[in-house]
Amino acid sequence: MISFNYETDFKLPNEDVLSKWISSIITLHNCKEDEISYVFCDDDYLHKLNVQFLNHDTLTDIISFDYSVGKNLQGDIFISVERVEDNAKDLGLTFKEELHRVIIHGILHYCGFKDKTESDAKQMRLKEDEALSLLQPML
């Protein structure tokens, strides 16, 4: 089950569509959906988590806590709406485009994709693009 939670005034306008899309990407990668919780928050909220749990004193757009067991996906994905908005401007994208990319990025990590090396980052970007192309007809 995918749930969307909010620690800020932001609210997704199309939770049902996004939930179905995320589920379809999980299935596409031969994984099983368990409890996946998205928490949308502001920079301050996510910064505190970054310092407390990862010992990183920086702003970030997403932090995911992966509790998956094998291909049974479960975890908490925290997304800073403020950071996504700033990144979208910097990248010349709409807020919605960048938000969707960040949403699926966390799931792709749970599915086993990495992004630490240049090669892995290219593969991750390819998987993000594939997932985003599947979302467009659903919107």
Binding-site positions for Zn(2+)? 105, 109, 115
What is the gyration radius of the CA atoms in the chain, in angstroms?
14
Q: What are 75's two structure tokens?
A: 């975890």
The binding site comprises 105, 109, 115
Q: Which amino acid is at 113?
A: F
Classify burial at 118, counting beta carbons within 10 Å of its beta carbon; exposed 0-12, middle 13-18, buried 19 or more. exposed
What is the maximum alpha-carbon separation in the chain? Answer: 40
